[in-house]
Structure 1
Amino acid sequence: MKRLALALIPGLVLAGCAAGGTARPTRTAFVPIPTGTLGLEGVIGQNARGLVARLGTPVADLIEGNARKLQFASGTCVLDAYLYPKGSAEPVVTYLDARQGDGSPVDRASCVSALQMKARGGK
């Protein structure tokens, strides 16, 4: 029995050396996008007509059940405005999502500002 134990020790030592030392993959840091409403006061709570008057003609208008999504785009960003009714009232914007053309996140208020400038005839 002692011989068997002595014969196994070198193998166990080598197995322990081979198993260690694997590097863990690194993760990129998560960068949170602010979700406050500063700069969005004129958009949050708007109905579809008010939103179109402020941002121009949407590039997409989707309705699913009682929810509606209006999508606006400029050379700078894409803005998705989600409108939901409260009770029997007309649907209003309750949430906004913004991104750059390549899908990268962008500040929502900056995107709203760029869309408003475009709607007024700017670039």
Structure 2
Amino acid sequence: MRSGLGIVATTALLAGCASTGTTPPPATPAAVVAVPYNAVGLERVIGHDAAALVKLFGQPDADVREGTARKLQFQSRICVLDAYLYPRGGEEPRVTYIDAREPDGSSIDRASCVAALTRRDGAR
């Protein structure tokens, strides 16, 4: 008796799941949310020129120039920091954006990387 009742209950549940002939509305794509660029802890870098970065971190491990833009890269055993400098008007190029990662490419907080680099050999 129980197995017969189980079959009836299962059939009733499956019947409720059967198509009603209407198609569900298409899924709406998820909105792309811009992640704000938080400059907290980056005051010693953002807006400064190359000389200030050298004074803070020591000599860069890489210095790449492309047109009027410049990228300075500083490395330690903890992280790699890329500082992008661009001129505005007739002024000397200044840092407008930085990117940070661990040596293996993993994500790391930019402010933590700045703090770590100030403690590396060659930094002030």
TM-score w.r.t. structure 1 length?
Answer: 0.69
Q: Which amino acid aligns with 2:75?
A: A
Distance 1:116-1:34 versus aligned 2 partners, 3 A rule: farther
Equivalent residue, structure 1, for 2:6: none
Which amino acid in structure 2 is aligned with residue 101 of structure 1?
Answer: P
Which digits, 9 at most, give the CA deviation of each residue in 1:63-115, with x for residues without a partner?
Answer: 00010000000010000000000011000000000000010110000000000
SS at match of 1:68: strand
Aligned to 1:29: none
CA deviation vs aligned residue, 1:21-51 (integer Å, no higher than 9, x gap)? xxxxxxxxxxx98730000001101100011
Percent identity for Structure 1 against Structure 2: 61
Give the whole-Å Cα distance in 2 for the aligned partners of 1:114 and 1:78.
Answer: 10
**1:32-71 alignment runs, 5 A limit:** 35-71=37-73
Query: Does the 8 A contact of 1:61 with 1:70 survive in 2?
Result: yes
Q: CA RMSD in A?
A: 1.6
Alpha-carbon distance between aligned partners in 1 of 2:38 and 2:97, rounded to the nearest angstrom: 11
Deviations along 1:2-37, one digit per CA (max 9) or x if unpaired, are: xxxxxxxxxxxxxxxxxxxxxxxxxxxxxx987300
Paired residues, number: 89
Please identify runs of 4+ aligned residues in structure 1 that moved more than 6 A: none
Structure with bigger helix share is: 1
Unaligned runs of 5+ in 1: 1-31
Contact 1:34 1:107 in 2 (8 A): no
Tell me by how many angstroms 1:117 deviates. 1.0
TM-score (norm 2): 0.68
